[in-house]
Amino acid sequence: MSGAYGANLLSSRVPDWLSRQRHSEQLAIAFENETWSYKKLYERVGRLAGFFAAHGVQKGDRVALLARHGLVFAASVHSFIQLEAVLVPLNTRLAAEELAWQIQDAGIRLLVYDDEHRSLAMRALAICRTNGVALLSPIELDGVHWDEQVEPIYHDAIELSAIQCMIYTSGTTGRPKAARISYGNHLFGALGSALRLGVQANDRWLTPLPLFHVGGQSVLLRSVIYGTAALIQAKFDPLQVNSAIYNKGATLVSVVPAMLFRMLAEQEMPYPSTLRNVLLGGGPAPRTLLETCLAKGVPVSQSYGLTEANSQVATLSLNESLRKLGSSGQALAFTEICIMGKDGPLPPYQEGEIALRGPTIFAGYDHNPVANEQAFRDGWFYTGDIGYVDDEEYLYVLDRRADLILSGGENVYPAEVEAVLLAHQDILEAGVSGMSDEHFGQVPFAAIKVKPGSVVDPAEVQAFCRERLAGYKVPRKIVIVDELPRNASGKLLRRELSKWL
């Protein structure tokens, strides 16, 4: 039955995505007041690739990028693709020691940085030198590397099994691990997302998420695969995000709950109909937030994703947002979800570990056989997250396993307790974690941020929780704080809550 003629399956080499768009005058990318068409992006990416090559970047090299968000960052991402180098985007919030550790761990051959991060880059490289690790001379980006005198460099095809980047996962426990993301991961992630969210010629996908994480970077790659526009921002600012929705035709927006809360707080008028979907990732969304969006007519889709799946795994369709409120939706077209118990797959409604399979799943952690053997079993990737599916295969994510509070033999999911706290009229943000307890092993405690102008009494909040939660889930202790610990993506870092104990 198999064909002797024709290429039935996708060849592992496909024509370069950016090259396919190179004649197009359509908007490719916008930052602040600058806009580039695909034609312009293609030309500049080629010249930037020529510039990097002249400074020693070769095919297969691992190159670290430590730079502010902007067009140069985005063009660099595409240039390394043309050079077939492996990008390791560095989190600009890390300390020099942490950066040096990643640079060494990833086997970086060359560091690219910008003036804003010169001092940080130099300190990190000094630590590497002290440790006897030598790199090529670092490259400082100054924003003008598309000199007409540089010979542009383009590759002609993409090898789908090749690694486009390695991204260190925020990792709730232990040392960060480098997740290897392939071109195939990007392609099938983009296609699966397109089938769930739809894709339109006029799409402009806005991401205030960091470009050094999968959530932001995948928007850059997807836009090129689709031939649509990416709107990027220096950092999250609710006014700027709202402005891009009101004035710049953003059709899709990727955010996490904490961002969406602030956008809604600053909203001056209903969002225009050009905004067709707010993709809400970064952990289980508080129900109050989803309900507020429904009431305000904000088209929000709860989404579940993680670095190891190159972002999106499942997303709730807009037309299901009422019927399946609280669900992260069904798996995207090229991803399979299985809820695993101790003895294998579990039936609907039973809680277990979320396992994933398919061409969107990453190519494993770099040089970390122990982590890979723990994470991959029988072709399934075990996420460490806890959830269940209903009888229509809609996923409900309960929590990150690492955050699970085990209290007197009962499981307490911080997200559930946080959702109750957020329903309190005076609480703006909440984080819940476990604290040691002689009797129960662990008990939950909460850190809360109070709404401006409000005053709360911890005892009253506990009473509020007691009315809504089983006794063992009520925070034993409530601390009022100015700011909750979050990573650069805005994801709550629950393990850091213990500093207030």
Handedness of CA 263, 268, 273, 274 (dihedral sign): negative
Q: Does 444 bind a copy of itself (CB under 8 A)?
A: no
Q: Does 261 bind a copy of itself (CB under 8 A)?
A: no
Residues from 125 through 164 that contact a copy of itself (CB under 8 A): 160-163
CB 417 within 8 A of CB 492: no
d(CA 461, CA 229): 45
Q: Does 317 bind a copy of itself (CB under 8 A)?
A: yes
Q: Provide the H-helix boundaries in 84-182.
A: 96-105, 118-130
How does strand 311-315 pair with strand 395-400? unpaired
Structure-token match 């009253």, residue found = 460
Handedness of CA 193, 194, 200, 201 (dihedral sign): positive
Give me the 84-113 binding string for a copy of itself, x by CB under 8 A, dash otherwise. Answer: --x---------------------------
**Nearest approach, Cβ of 220 to a copy of itself (angstroms)?**
17
Using the rule CB under 8 A, which residue among 46, 138, 184, 281 binds a copy of itself? 184
**For residue 302, what are the β-bridge partners?**
280
Q: Does 42 bind a copy of itself (CB under 8 A)?
A: no
Residues from 398 through 437 that contact a copy of itself (CB under 8 A): none
CB 391 within 8 A of CB 348: yes
d(CA 298, CA 295): 8
Q: Does 199 bind a copy of itself (CB under 8 A)?
A: yes
Q: What are phi and psi of 279, to 5 degrees?
A: -90, 115
Nearer to a copy of itself, 25 or 142 (CB): 25
Residues from 210 through 249 that contact a copy of itself (CB under 8 A): 225-227
Q: Does 374 bind a copy of itself (CB under 8 A)?
A: no
Strands (E), 342-402: 344-345, 352-357, 376-377, 380-389, 395-400
Alpha carbon dihedral 360, 366, 372, 376, in 10-degree steps, equals 10
Q: Which stretch binds a copy of itself (CB under 8 A): 188-196, 258-266, 439-447, 450-458?
A: 188-196
CB 484 within 8 A of CB 492: yes
Q: Which stretch binds a copy of itself (CB under 8 A): 7-15, 67-75, 168-176, 206-214?
A: 7-15
Q: Which one, of 216, 281, 264, lies nearest residue 491 by Cα?
A: 281
Count of Cβ atoms closer than 10 Å to residue 460 Cβ: 12
d(CA 296, CA 264): 9
Using the rule CB under 8 A, which residue among 54, 95, 126, 195 binds a copy of itself? 195
Q: Does 456 bind a copy of itself (CB under 8 A)?
A: no
**Nearest approach, Cβ of 227 to a copy of itself (angstroms)?**
7
Residues from 47 through 76 that contact a copy of itself (CB under 8 A): 60
Per-position DSSP letters for 28-62, written without gaps between them: EEEETTEEEEHHHHHHHHHHHHHHHHHTT--TT-E
**Nearest approach, Cβ of 62 to a copy of itself (angstroms)?**
11
Nearer to a copy of itself, 4 or 144 (CB): 4
CA 16 to chain CA centroid, nearest Å:
24
Nearer to a copy of itself, 299 or 458 (CB): 299
Q: Does 318 bind a copy of itself (CB under 8 A)?
A: yes
Q: Which one, of 83, 89, 96, lies nearest residue 126 by Cα?
A: 96
Q: Which stretch binds a copy of itself (CB under 8 A): 15-23, 122-130, 407-415, 463-471?
A: 15-23
**Nearest approach, Cβ of 249 to a copy of itself (angstroms)?**
15
Q: Which stretch binds a copy of itself (CB under 8 A): 138-146, 316-324, 396-404, 492-500?
A: 316-324
**Nearest approach, Cβ of 110 to a copy of itself (angstroms)?**
18
**Nearest approach, Cβ of 370 to a copy of itself (angstroms)?**
12
**Nearest approach, Cβ of 310 to a copy of itself (angstroms)?**
10
d(CA 320, CA 329): 8
Q: Does 302 bind a copy of itself (CB under 8 A)?
A: no
Residues from 326 through 365 that contact a copy of itself (CB under 8 A): 330, 333-334, 336, 357-359, 361-365
Q: How many residues bind a copy of itself (CB under 8 A)?
A: 60
For residue 5, give the DSSP letter.
Answer: S
Q: Does 372 bind a copy of itself (CB under 8 A)?
A: yes
d(CA 480, CA 31): 37
Give buried/exposed letters for 52-68 (b at 16+ CB in 10 A, else e): bbeeebeeebbbbbbbb
Nearer to a copy of itself, 336 or 496 (CB): 336
**Nearest approach, Cβ of 474 to a copy of itself (angstroms)?**
36
Nearer to a copy of itself, 19 or 92 (CB): 19
Q: Does 185 bind a copy of itself (CB under 8 A)?
A: yes
Nearer to a copy of itself, 8 or 173 (CB): 8
Nearer to a copy of itself, 16 or 403 (CB): 16
Q: Which one, of 115, 421, 484, lies nearest residue 289 by Cα?
A: 421
Binding site for a copy of itself (CB under 8 A): 1-12, 14-15, 20, 23, 26, 60, 86, 160-163, 180, 182, 184-185, 188, 191, 194-195, 198-201, 225-227, 317-319, 330, 333-334, 336, 357-359, 361-365, 372, 375-376, 379, 381, 392-393
